[in-house]
Amino acid sequence: MSSKRKPRSKATPEEPQTLDELLKELSEHGLNFVVGEPLWDRLAAHGLDVIPILLERTEKGDKHFKLVDIALKRILENIDPDLRGRASGLLQTSLARTFPRERRIEAIKAFSHAFAQDSLCQERILHLALDPGEDIDVRTTALDTLAKMEPAGVLAERLLAILDLDREQWLKHERMCDAAFLCLRRHALRLPSKRLRVGLEPFLTHANPRLRSRAIALVGAYADVDFIEHLFALPDAPAHREEILDAVAKISSRPINLLSLRPEAFEAFIARLLTHMGFLDVKVGCFTQDGGVDATCHQFRQGFSGAEREDWIVQCKRYKEKPIDEATVRQFVDTITARRAHRGLFVTTSSYTGGAMAFADSQQNLKIISGEQLLNRLLEVFKTKRYSIDVHA
């Protein structure tokens, strides 16, 4: 007679007794959700004292444990607020140059897990990234980590110092170059656009096409619509056609608070809107001592004798909440007459006083547009809700 064999139960790892055994089990089963989760919980129960042990394992190139970054993340993500200072200190201790590069790199990466908003930690990582005497891999990791952090205010502006680093050194170290531009792209909207634009100009015209490509991608992450024409006017624009078109697409699809545009950029934006509305020969310029004229254009109207040209002048006011008063509107009407224009358009992001609206209604040669009407017209013309007038932004 043949006896039936009992089915073998699925082998499961024995519960580790020591930290060494726990780390070994994690290296084998840590990525298995069912088996690994209890092991991760046991590791977290060891507390902050395990941080230098994990970093030391990296330093020695421990073959049994390759999940140091995941382990540190697990420990730091749910750290008690009262212990944050101690955890930061343990990591910063491992940044010293007396430690091997591998240990320092893992310590730098760990800062993004629990200290993304900590200005002191950001300052320390930025110092490593900007130090020309530092190891290239350490600097590259620091830049990668800064990209994941959330610097604000003055510290965010200090990221612009990245553009002052030795460009020739960047060309020798492609990963560092990519990390630097990635960091700036991630934080582009936190940076002062004028200073970023000035600092980026040498890269947009650099002899090396790789630097130009990365600079164009950065432009796409922060620039306003007024920068689009500059992109197409770059010396080597044809060689970067696809990258420029990609940057333009990003600029054109990004949500825009009209109040965040510089006055001259707002004027250019209104000019673009007028062009899409069918106005011809729209020109934006500084018409000094000419009644505040910001743009000129014309259109053709069907009259008794056929198509008749109608010249317009435009005035733009990018105000947050200040309403346009009657005196300002009256002055603009006088300018329409003085310029011998047929009609005038007054555009504002705010509103008009009752007197201003009543006066405008009595003028056949004047059209006024308030902020609310402007948003409605933008939706009608561009078929998108990406534009806003947010006074609290």
Residue pLDDT, tens place only, 249-307: 888 888 888 998 878 878 988 998 999 999 999 998 755 555 679 999 999 988 777 88
DSSP string, 239-305: GGHHHHHHHHHHHHHS-EEGGGS-HHHHHHHHHHHHHHTT-EEEEE---TTSSS--EEEEEEEEETT
Torsion, Cα of 242, 244, 246, 252 (10° steps): -150
**How many CA within 13 A on the CB side of residue 343?**
16
Model confidence at 33, pLDDT cuts 50, 70, 90, reads confident
Closest CA to 218 of 208, 231, 207, 229: 231
Q: How far apart are CA 1 and CA 384, in angstroms?
A: 80
Tell me: the pLDDT tens digits for 49-68?
A: 999 999 988 876 666 667 88
Q: Of 255, 281, 310, which residue sits at a domain end?
A: 255
* Residue 354, C-beta contacts closer than 8 angstroms, at least 6 positions apart: none
- pLDDT attached to residue 45: 87
Backbone angles phi, psi at 348, to 5 degrees: -140, 155
- In which order are the strands placed within the sheet that holds 295-303? 280-284, 295-303, 306-317, 343-348, 366-369
* Judgement on whether residues 312 and 364 belong to the same structural domain of the protein: yes
* Judgement on whether residues 310 and 381 belong to the same structural domain of the protein: yes
Model confidence at 10, pLDDT cuts 50, 70, 90, reads very low
DSSP 3-state assignment of 323?
coil
DSSP string, 32-56: -HHHHHHHHHHHHHTGGGHHHHHHH
Model confidence at 3, pLDDT cuts 50, 70, 90, reads very low
The percent of the chain in helix, strand and coil, each rounded to the nearest 5, is 60, 10, 30
On average, the pLDDT of the chain sits at 88
Tell me: the pLDDT tens digits for 74-120?
A: 899 888 889 999 999 999 999 999 999 999 999 999 999 999 999 99
Q: Of 255, 270, 298, which residue sits at a domain end?
A: 255
Backbone angles phi, psi at 43, to 5 degrees: -65, -45
Closest CA to 312 of 288, 287, 338, 336: 336
* Judgement on whether residues 209 and 295 belong to the same structural domain of the protein: no
Q: Does a structural domain hold residue 347? A: yes
CATH number of the domain at 280, please. Answer: 3.40.1350.10
Q: Is the pLDDT of residue 323 over 70?
A: yes
Tell me: the pLDDT tens digits for 159-204?
A: 999 999 888 888 889 999 999 999 999 999 888 888 899 999 999 9
Q: How far apart are CA 393 and CA 386, in angstroms?
A: 15
- pLDDT attached to residue 1: 45
- pLDDT attached to residue 32: 85
Q: Which residue has the higher pLDDT, 349 or 230?
A: 349
Q: Which residue has the higher pLDDT, 229 or 136?
A: 136
- pLDDT attached to residue 286: 59
**How many CA within 13 A on the CB side of residue 56?**
8
- Compute the residue count for the chain: 393
* Judgement on whether residues 214 and 244 belong to the same structural domain of the protein: yes
* Judgement on whether residues 249 and 282 belong to the same structural domain of the protein: no
Q: Does a structural domain hold residue 377? A: yes
Q: Is the pLDDT of residue 41 over 80?
A: yes
Q: Does a structural domain hold residue 298? A: yes
DSSP 3-state assignment of 367?
strand
Q: Does a structural domain hold residue 66? A: yes
Rg of the chain (C-alpha set): 30
Q: For the chain, what is the domain count? A: 2
CATH number of the domain at 190, please. Answer: 1.25.10.10
Q: What's this model's pTM, rounded to 2 decimal places?
A: 0.67
Let me know: does 94 contact 87? Beta carbons within 8 Å.
no
- pLDDT attached to residue 7: 47
Structural domain boundaries enclosing 221: 19-255
